[in-house]
Structure formats: structure tokens, C-alpha cells
Amino acid sequence: MDVASRDRTRALALALPALAVFLAFWLLPMVRLAHVGATGEEGLAAYTAVITHPSYFRSLVSTVTLSALTTVATLILSLVAGLFLQRNHFTGRDLLVSLLTLPLAFPGVVVGFLVILFAGRQGLIGDVTAWLTGETLVFAYGMAGLFTGYLYFSIPRVILTLMASIEKLDPALEEAARSLGASPWQVTRDVILPALRPALLSSGAICFATSMGAFGTAFTLATQINVLPLTIYNEFTNYANFSMAAALSIVLGLITWAVLALARTAAGAGVAAAA
Amino acid sequence: MSARRRTARFWLQAALTLLVCAFLVVPVILSILAGLTENFFVGLGSGLTLRWVGEVWTLYRATLGYSIGIALACLAVTLVIGVPAAYSLARVQNRFTRVFEELLVLPVAVPGLATALALILLFGQWREFRASAAFILVGHVLFTLPFMVRSVLAVMVAMDLKTMEEAAASLGASFTQRFFNVVLPNSVPGILAGALMVVTLSLGEFNLTWMLHTPLTKTLPVGLADSYASMRLEIGSAYTLIFFVIIIPLLVAMQWAARRAQTRRT
């Protein structure tokens, strides 16, 4: 007993170096960030500026809208592709799966560049539309380009999570529903979707939070795009408004953290209810 | 009739899946081609060349070595502090370790931009630190540590750590001996998967690094952003091609290691 409790203490002590790094290089700097945010010209009001200040508010609304649209589109596309790849076995399937997960580790800047090659001034879409209609379609350098980029880096992450959950589904349940006369759409709505709820919630939340905080893609496409991370970056580097940049990044951090925490609670409850 | 409806559904799904695949792969192929084409604006007809790759090599070679150095240093730090932390979390499960686990993930949950600003505001005045590679390393360690800890923890939780350790202890093995001779060897799949993830993420990290870098501490993704902004399309593409050559094998290895760690668990 004595030995066991000494072992526990020793085991706990092994977490100390990681804890020290976290406290010194993350928590302490974050406290400083929050303090800087509260002690600028506007004082504590800097924290509500994202709602009271029209241009910051617009930036918040467009970031949330863009992230929400990205999440919905990513979930739908990944669900369809994930179900298809997990349910049908054909030659080349494994290749398709690895291709889908290829962009997993591409940084935002690279994704931005790929969007430029895809839909920029010398891009593929432009060439194709010029050939088809005579007019060159270019949409890389605005919100549509950003949406394309966010979709690009979100799909691989979400599809991996969803495919893992689809693999664990019990095909007997779907079989039972079908034998009772349920249409394919009813099976999807009443059997598959509820079973995938936790995975959809958690991967959707990760997708949303990542899109809210993404910086590299927007940075490559155009620094004038009005999304919160770029607003923060411009406040900090171009206007040297450190306190506003600090306050806005604390608010942004709180939003992404809250979304992730909420989704985890909801998904956890879903798992508990299903078990 | 039902069979026909199912086929329509099947083909629709197949088409969409292929479209998604094309969406993800075609830009990569475009980028590779652009990096090897004499003049991308004219098209492939202008001929293939390694000239742009050569130019990138002379212009940006330093960023490559720099990034690899940081990634390896990041791996060393996350191994030394992350693996013991994972053991701690696996052995002792109470309220404190649960809170600790939550805390460790915060640098991933909160945008890198916020973490970078916080680091600059607190340590920016400390010139030697601000201008050194260690400043970027700190950011990368914060961002990658949770992945190492989680990957190792998952393997440790799945194996019967308690029974194994009790057996070793009953044979007289000390705490240190058990950690190095029983716990570590059995956690290798998790450590390997975590290590590959740390290196891959560190090599590609941009959100933090862009804020933390100085003209003398440029990593590969920072160099990429620089080339996209100021160089011709072919050079940006050739540079991206070099990045792909490094990152894609790592990515494939990472997925292989993750699968291996998972099969060991079940």
C-alpha cells in the first residue's frame, strides 16, 4: 500500500515538466494577453468592441457565417463520400481513400496557393470557363475563394472521423429497417444519422473552430478579406493597436474553445444515451 | 423498381465521391505541373524544366534545414516531456489529471494567432529569446504536445499497465526500471505514431510561426508564404513541390503508424 502510493506520487511527478512548460509558455502569456486587452485606450470595453464596433462586428458575422457554411458543406460532402467508400468495395477504393486524406497536413498557406491555382487569375476554373463560355471565372481572392480553401482543408479531417464511425455501425440495424419497408432515405434519416450523431457533432465542431481561427489561407488569398483572424493580424501589425488585437484574440479563442467544449459535452451525452 | 432506384442513388453517390476526390487532388497536380513548366501562363507546351526547382533551391534552401532542425528539436522536447506526462495521466486518474489533460489541449483549441500574440506580448522584450529559434520552438511544442500525449496515452490506457507493472514489481523491479523496461517498450506504437504526427505538424505549422518568426528565423511554410507573395507562380509552385516531397511520405507513414497503434490496442 505504501509502495503503491509512493508510485502514484512518482507517476504524478512525471507530469510536472509538461505542466511547467504549459504554465510558463501558454497560461502566463495568455494572462498577459488578457491584461493587455483590458488596459488599452478603451479599457474593458475592448472586449465588447467585437459587438459594439460596426467593423469588428461585421468581421465577426462574416467569420461565423463562413465557418458555419464550411461546416455544413463539409459534413454533407464527407458523409456522402464516407458512406460510399465504407459501404462499397471496389478496386481502387484504398487509393481513393488515401487521396482524400492527402491534404491532411497541408498548411493554410499552401491551401491558399492551391485555391489560386484552381480559381485564380491563371487558374483551372478560369481556363475551363473561358473555353466554355468565353468569359474567365475568377473567384479565388474573396469570400468564395476562402470558402473553397476551408472546404479543402476540412474535408480530409472530417471524412477520416466519419469513416471510422461508419465502420462501427451495425449493418443489421439498417437491414432490419429495410426489411420493415423503410426507404433508403428513411434508413439514412432514422438509423444512420442518429448513430453517427456524436461523430458528426465532434468533427463538425472541430471543423467550425478550425475555420474560425484559420489564418494562413486568408493571408495567402488577400489580406483585405474581412475575417476575424486577419482583422486581428492587421490591428497588430499594421495599426500597432496591441490592446484591440489582444482583446479580439481572447474573444476569438473563447468562441472556438466554447464550441469545442459544447460539442464534446453534447456528443458525450449522445454516446451515453446510445450505450 | 427498387433496384433501379438504388442504382441511381449509387451512381449519384459515386459521382459525388469522385468529384470530392478530384477537388482535393487536381489542385495538387496543377501545382506540381506548374512547378515543372517553363511558363505556366503559356502552358505545358512551353516545355518541362527543373529550372524553377533549382532557383528555389538557391533562394530558399536555408528554410528547409531550419524547418527540419526545429521539427527534430520539437520532437525531442515532446518526447522528453510528453511521454512521461502521458504515463502520469494513464497511471493516475483523478480530477487533477483530468483538468491537466484538458489544459494541455488548449493551445490546439485556441487559434494559433492568439497563442502567438500572447507569447510576443510577454516575451517580446527579451531580445535574445525573441530573435532565436527557441522562440519558434516554444510555439511548436505547445501546438504539438497534445498530439504526442494523446497518442501515447491511448496505447498506454489500452494495455493492462497495472498488471504488467505489478508483475515486474513483484520480481523486484524499481519504479525507474519499470518505466524504462516495461512501460516504454510496450508504448512504442503510440510513441511512433505521436512522433510522426509531431514532425509532420511542426514542418507544416504556419499560423503561429508567421507571427513568431524574424527575418533570420524563417521556416519552410514562412518561406512559402514569402514566395507566394513576391515570386512568380512557377517558383511558388516549385517550392510547394519540394514541400510535398517532404510532407507526403511523412503523412503516409503517419497514417500507417496510427493504424498500427490502433490494431495493437484492439
b/e sequence A160-193, b meaning 16+ C-beta within 10 Å: bbbbebbeebeeeebeebeeeebebeebbeebbe
State the helix-helix crossing angle for A2-13 and B51-91, rounded to 10 degrees: 150
As for how many domains chain B has, the answer is 1
**Number of residues that this document lists for chain A:** 275
pLDDT at B259: 82
Contact A21 B248 (CB under 8 A): no
A28-37, A68-77, A174-183, A252-261: least confident range: A174-183
Comparing A264-268, B68-72, B130-134, B226-230, the range with the smallest average pLDDT is A264-268
Average pLDDT over every residue of B76-104: 93
Taking CB atoms and an 8 Å cutoff, what residues of chain B touch A214? 111, 207
Residue B85 neighbours by CB under 8 Å, 6+ apart:
A14, A15, A17, A18, A19, B100, B104, B149
- Residue pair B161/B91 in contact by the 8 Å Cβ criterion: yes
| A118 vs B contacts (CB less than 8 Å) | 26-27, 30
Q: What is the CATH number of the domain that holds B43?
A: 1.10.3720.10
Q: Around Cβ B77, how many Cβ atoms within 10 Å?
A: 21
DSSP three-state, residue A14: coil
Domain ranges of chain A: 39-274
Contact B237, B40 (CB under 8 A): yes
Nearest by CB to A15, from B89, B111, B175: name it. Answer: B89
Domain encompassing residue B122: 26-265
- Name every residue whose Cβ is closer than 8 Å to that of residue A186 and which is 6 or more positions away in sequence: A177
- CB contacts, 8 Å: A8 with chain B: 91-92
Whether A27 and chain B come into contact, CB under 8 Å, resolves to yes
**pLDDT score recorded for residue B261:** 83
Cβ distance of B111 and A252 shorter than 8 Å: yes
Percent of all residues in chain B with a pLDDT value above 70, rounded to a whole number: 97
Q: Is A19 on the interface with B (CB under 8 A)?
A: yes
Average pLDDT value for residue range B76-105: 93
- pLDDT score of B35 more than 60: yes
Rounded mean pLDDT, B14-30: 93
Average pLDDT, chain A: 89
| Cα–Cα distance, B59 to B239 (Å, whole number) | 10
CB contact under 8 A, B254 and A81: no
Chain A CA closest to residue B33: A117
Half-sphere exposure (CA, 13 Å, Cβ side) for A155?
28
CB contact under 8 A, A17 and B145: no
Which residue of B2, B4, B12, B17 is the best one to mutate when testing the A interface, meaning the one whose CB has the most A CBs within 10 A?
A: B17
Best of B4, B20, B89, B202 to substitute, by most chain A Cβ atoms within 10 angstroms, is B20
Record: contact B113-A249, CB cut-off 8 A: yes
Average pLDDT over residues B63-83: 96
Q: Which residue of B has its CA nearest to A230?
A: B113
* Nearest-neighbour CA in chain A from B230: distance (Å): 11
Q: How far is CA A168 from the centre of its chain?
A: 24
Determine the pLDDT at residue A270.
45
Q: Which of B25, B26, B206 faces A109 most closely, judged by CB atoms?
A: B206
How many whole angstroms separate alpha carbon A153 and alpha carbon A156? 6
pLDDT, position A271: 43
| H or E element in which residue A4 lies | helix A2-13
Q: Is A124 on the interface with B (CB under 8 A)?
A: yes
Q: How far is CA B110 from CA A259, B100, B118, in A?
A: 11, 16, 12
* B122 reaches A (C-beta below 8 A): yes
The whole-angstrom separation of Cα A157 and Cα A103 is: 9
Predicted local distance difference test score (pLDDT) of residue A272:
40
* CA distances from residue B236 to A123, B170, B240, B247 in whole angstroms, order as listed: 14, 61, 6, 16
| Cell triple for A72 | 455544413
Give the least confident one: A4-13, A118-127, A262-271, B92-101: A262-271
Optimal mutation site among A14, A32, A186, interface B, most CBs of chain B within 10 A = A14
Q: Do B189 and B260 contact (CB within 8 A), yes or no?
A: yes
Average pLDDT over residues A106-129: 90
List CB contacts (< 8 A) between B225 and chain A. Answer: 109, 216, 219-220
Any A CB within 8 A of B243 CB? yes
pLDDT of residue A273: 38
Largest CA distance in chain A: 83
Q: Of B163, B211, B154, B164, which is closest to residue B187 (Cα–Cα)?
A: B154
Cα within 13 Å of Cα(B127), Cβ side: 0
B32 close contact with A: CB closer than 8 A: no
Quote the CA–CA distance of A224 and A237 in Å, as a whole number.
14
**Residue contact A18–B81, C-beta within 8 A:** yes
pLDDT for the residue A269: 54
Q: What is the pLDDT of residue A135?
A: 85
Average pLDDT over chain B, rounded to an integer: 90
A92-96, A147-151, B30-34, B236-240: which has the minimum mean pLDDT?
A92-96
- Predicted confidence at residue B5, as pLDDT, reads 55
- Which CATH class name applies to A39-274? mainly alpha
A155 to B20: CB separation less than 8 angstroms, yes or no: yes
Of residues A107, A113, A213, nearest to B236 (C-beta): A113
Which B positions 46-65 lie with beta carbon below 8 A of chain A? none
Give the residue carrying C-alpha cell 511548436.
Answer: B140
Does A64 contact B at CB distance below 8 Å?
A: no
pLDDT for res A54: 92
pLDDT value at residue A7:
85
Q: What is the pLDDT of residue B169?
A: 86
Question: Other CB atoms closer than 10 Å to residue B117's CB: what's the count?
Answer: 32
DSSP A190: I
Q: Do B224 and A29 touch (CB under 8 A)?
A: no
- Residue B111 with chain A: CB contacts under 8 Å: 212-215, 229, 249, 252-253, 256
Candidates A97, A60, A16, A68; CA nearest to B21 is A97
Q: Is residue B1 part of a domain?
A: no
Residue type for A38, please? A
Give the DSSP letter string of chain B: -HHHHHHHHHHHHHHHHHHHHHHHHHHHHHHHHHHHBS-TTT-GGG-B-SHHHHHHHHHHHHHHHHHHHHHHHHHHHHHHHHHHHHHHHHH--SHHHHHHHHHHHHHHHS-HHHHHHHHHHHHTT-HHHHTSHHHHHHHHHHHHHHHHHHHHHHHHHHTTHHHHHHHHHHTT--HHHHIIIIIHHHTHHHHHHHHHHHHHHHHH--HHHHHH--TTS--HHHHHHHHHHHS-HHHHHHHHHHHHHHHHHHHHHHHHHHHHHHHHH-
pLDDT for the residue numbered B6: 60
CB-based burial, A33-53: b 16+ in 10 Å, e otherwise: bbebbbebebeeebbebbeeb
Helix (H, G, I), strand (E, B) or coil at A227: coil
Cβ contact, residue pair B85, A80, below 8 Å: no
C-alpha of A35 from chain center: 28
